[in-house]
Amino acid sequence: MSKNIVLIGFMGTGKSAIAKRLASFLQWKSYDIDTIIEQEQSANIPEIFATLGEERFREIETEIISRLSHRTGVIISTGGGAPTIAENMLALKRNGIIVRLTASSETILKRAGDLKSRPMLANTPDPLARIKELLNEREPHYSKADITIDTDGKSLKEVIMMIVKAVEQT
């Protein structure tokens, strides 16, 4: 049985882009939880937050993670808040190696782009302070990962090679 490779980490750490490139490198399938939520709800993430609220979004996220975590030999890319729900991490760990991607708060803010598409960062006067606050809050959850890889100043290719090497040694 091949374990899944599960990417976790804050927004803007490159999870979705790296999952796609890693999938094509390993010739594995990849699943992006946010994309599946958007497809199944026929709405984008800010719309889902606006109409259903964060709590309902988290329930949908947990249900999809539970479904996908039964697979083996796939890459799963999660939304930044998913690890804060203990049930999600337990499900993902069962069949998966958890790889946490990190970046500095400043890099995260730069990569976040238009904050309207980021409900957890929208409507705040100081997005950098909000990023730091959320990173602090989430640290105990993110630190449950098996592997941590810092993406600051690295190319996608470099990060992918680091993940492949670290997973092989696990």
Contact residues: ligand S3P, CB under 6 A: 11, 15-16, 34, 45, 79-81, 118-120
Which amino acid makes up residue 10? F
Residue 4 contacts residue 95 (beta carbons within 8 Å): yes
Closest CB to ligand S3P among residues 119, 127: 119
Between 80 and 127, CB nearer to ligand S3P: 80
Closest contact distance (angstroms) between CB of 78 and ligand S3P is 7
| Phi, psi of 147, deg, nearest 5 | -135, 140
Smallest distance from ligand S3P to CB 44, Å: 10
**Nearest residue (CB) to ligand S3P, 2 versus 46:** 46
Provide CB contacts within 8 A for 154, sequence distance 6+.
162
Measured from the CB atom, the residue of 92 and 120 that comes closer to ligand S3P is 120
Neighbour count for residue 123 (Cβ, 10 Å)? 10
CA 157 to chain centre: 18
Shortest Cβ contact with ligand S3P: which residue?
79
